[in-house]
Amino acid sequence: MKLEEAVQYAGDLLKSVPKNTRVRIIGHVDADGIAAASIVAIAVARAGFRFHISIKRTEPDLVDQIKKEKNEFVICADIGSSYLAQMEQLSCPVIVLDHHQYEEDAPSNVMFINALLYGLDGSKEACGSSVAYAFALALDEHNTDLSQLAVSGILGDKQRFDGYNRKILEDGIAKGVIDEQEEYVLRGNSLKEALENSLEPYFSGFSSATPFIERLGLPLHVPLEELDDAQQKKLLSALTLKLLEQGVDNIEWKTIGYHGKKYGDLRDITSKLNACARFNEAGMGVGICLGDEASLKKAHMIQERYRDEIRKEMRKLEQEEPHERSHYLYFYTDKPSLSGVLAGLSLAYLPQFKKGKPVFALAVRNRDSLIDISSRADDAMVEQGLNLGEALRRAAEKVGGMGGGHPIAAGGRIDRKREQEFLEELDRELGP
């Protein structure tokens, strides 16, 4: 069966219940999850239903939380695949729209729609928002404007525009709600700002970029776009050299930007949703997706704060040597909400983290003696057979914790007392 067919059944299931049914929507707390849940909410509202939406973390008691509410109909977006068996307790129809790895079979009250079931690569070709978009189209073929939010979700999960994701982008372009244009990855009102603020790529040692820019004889306070051709060339070749020294091998200075008719720069929307998720303001993120202007304005401030914090933590990590095991690297952070981003950026841009091994960030939570774990790998490692989601799940479960995710990015949680045991197990799981 194809995804498009499977979501028809889900659409029919929703349409079979009375219109005064209140649909309980649960999304996952990241940009993709917020976009996915919002797509569902908009589509469900357009179909004439009331809804109640919440963005949740993947916590062990997630199903217990929802169970207490006495719901009539539940839709989970970008979350739910690791709770299938427990969902039987909800004793109402449940639709799960997801792309994360799963272990259990779905009980009879759960319609389980996961990209992985339909020949799609859940880390590249379809994310939670993609599956939510497919569901929205099943409810009404005119929902193609929601491709804008789906593209934000796709960018949030760092997926490609392949597989079903390609179709979504093509839908958006064909309907005139999305425009593509080539743009520089470096952005800012001045060269100095662009280099110091950049996270992707991240430049080490640029807490001040002034010496670097002055050495090249370039103006500090002119935006990149206003440099002449020779100046741009000089700058980009110097920066390329710098990134090569950092061990970065995949360098691109231009990228495709996606402009949404309703939402504007979709990469910027993604960045705002990420910031909202990280600062426990997911409701504001939903507000942005639902078109609330005030949410959009407030999110701008949170976004700045988020990027500042990441930069601050990266400047610290620059000075650190990671701990090394046979099959992975790890470091400690006191910012659990940033740990995934930090693991990803350090793997991509810090020379001492480039050993061909995945990177794990461990965040110790003092209040409940747990450790939150986030990990990132790269394409080459995954092509060689690495599966972080699997390895982390097994290692965490062996010490009474939980974990999971994708081959290239995964998260988990363990008891602090069993940290050493976990680190050993993890090395075994990641080994050949």
Taking CA 238 as the corner, what is the angle to CA 237 and CA 243, rounded to the nearest 5 degrees? Answer: 95
CB of 157 or CB of 372, closer to Mn ion: 157
Residue 69: both structure tokens together: 């509410």
* CB of 153 vs Mn ion, minimal distance in Å: 7
Residue closest to 410 by CA, chosen among 431, 426, 432, 428: 426
CB of 201 or CB of 403, closer to Mn ion: 403
* CB of 152 vs Mn ion, minimal distance in Å: 12
Residue 11: strand, helix, or coil: helix
Residue 210: both structure tokens together: 């002034």
Which 93-152 residues touch Mn ion, going by CB under 5 A? 127-128
* CB of 392 vs Mn ion, minimal distance in Å: 16
- Counting residues that bind Mn ion (by CB under 5 A) gives 5
Paired with 51 in beta bridges are: 23
CB of 127 or CB of 213, closer to Mn ion: 127
Which 203-262 residues touch Mn ion, going by CB under 5 A? none
Residue nearest to Mn ion (CB): 32
Out of 6, 58, 77, 78, the only residue in the binding site for Mn ion (CB under 5 A) is 78
Residue 36: both structure tokens together: 């996915």
Residue with tokens 């389980």: 112
Identify whether 432 is preceded by a cis peptide bond (ω within 30 of 0).
Answer: no
E strands in 20-117: 22-28, 50-56, 73-77, 94-98, 110-114
Q: From edge to edge, which strands make up the β-sheet containing 323-324?
A: 323-324, 329-333, 359-365, 370-376, 409-415, 402-405
CB of 78 or CB of 429, closer to Mn ion: 78
Tell whether residue 309 is a contact of Mn ion (CB under 5 A). Answer: no
Site string for Mn ion, 385-424 (x = CB under 5 A): ----------------------------------------
Given the rule CB under 5 A, which of 77-85, 89-97, 212-220, 295-303 is the region that contacts Mn ion?
A: 77-85
Measure the CA–CA gap between 18 and 8, rounded to whole angstroms: 18
CB of 32 or CB of 196, closer to Mn ion: 32
Buried b (16+ CB within 10 A) or exposed e, 218-244: beeeebbeebeeebbeebbeebeebbe
Which 150-169 residues touch Mn ion, going by CB under 5 A? 157
* CB of 100 vs Mn ion, minimal distance in Å: 7
* CB of 236 vs Mn ion, minimal distance in Å: 33
Given the rule CB under 5 A, which of 32-40, 104-112, 264-272, 388-396 is the region that contacts Mn ion?
A: 32-40
Summarize as ranges the residues that interact with Mn ion (CB under 5 A). Answer: 32, 78, 127-128, 157
